Structure 1
Amino acid sequence: MRDRASYAFALVSAAVGLDVQGGQIRSARIALGGVGTKPWRAQEAEQMLVGKAATEENFRAAAAVAVRGAQPREHNRFKVEMVQKTVVQALQELMA
């Protein structure tokens, strides 16, 4: 996700994977980029999705868990909300 089309790089990125059977999430993977010194997995968010329905409401809850404990600096606080939107969007696109 970029906040301006003129930027040639993503401010935040997410790679997601879901194993869904019968509408229920059996396993989830969420990796985030652009939010720390290296890409990192949102394992707590992954775990909270397991056993749940693949719905926007659950995706939003997982996105909130993914940023829990974030310690942004003064000039990158906007990324907390951007991460959440990116995770939800990536999961929704995956299910589309």
Structure 2
Amino acid sequence: MPATPVARHSLYLKVRDRASYEFALASVAAALSVVDGTVADLRVALGGVATKPWRARRIEDFLIGAPANRDAFAQAARGELADARPTLMNAFKVELARRTVVRALETLVGDTGRSPA
């Protein structure tokens, strides 16, 4: 199956507690296309923060057409995780996931050779 144009520029970012642990505390798989400082296309999936990975459609819907910058990425991540229902033992994962989303998207923007808007 051929890759979609957006998948040609992608990243998987895994945050884990220690190098010896294999499981992710949070992970983000993202593909991003930026044109003239604006998000043209985007796919995001989150893992490690719930019982199963999921496609982050709120992030995608919010960011397509938005500036490709930290503020927009952070706002999109907050929206995606607004309904999270963490337990006492895993509440830290919500903020970790937010930060991981922002880091992944900023990394992709930097890798395109374009500076964030």
Same fold (TM over 0.5): yes
Structure 1 unpaired stretches of 5+: none
The alignment covers a number of residue pairs equal to 96
Are residues 1:42 and 2:56 paired?
yes
User: Helix, strand or coil for the counterpart of 2:29?
Assistant: strand
Which structure would you say has the larger Rg? 2
Percent of aligned pairs with the same residue?
48
Alpha-carbon deviation of 1:6? Answer: 4.2
TM-score by length of 2: 0.76
Q: Residue 72 of structure 2 corresponds to which residue in structure 1?
A: 58
Structure 2 unpaired stretches of 5+: 1-14, 111-117
TM-score by length of 1: 0.91
Q: Residue 104 of structure 2 corresponds to which residue in structure 1?
A: 90
Q: Residue 92 of structure 2 corresponds to which residue in structure 1?
A: 78
Please tell me the root mean square deviation across aligned C-alpha atoms, in Å.
Answer: 1.2
After TM superposition, the structure 1 stretch with the greater mean CA deviation from structure 2, 7-16 or 83-92, is: 7-16
Alpha-carbon deviation of 1:7? Answer: 2.8
Q: Residue 31 of structure 1 corresponds to which residue in structure 2?
A: 45
Distance of 2:21 and 2:35 partners within structure 1: 38
Alpha-carbon deviation of 1:40? Answer: 0.2
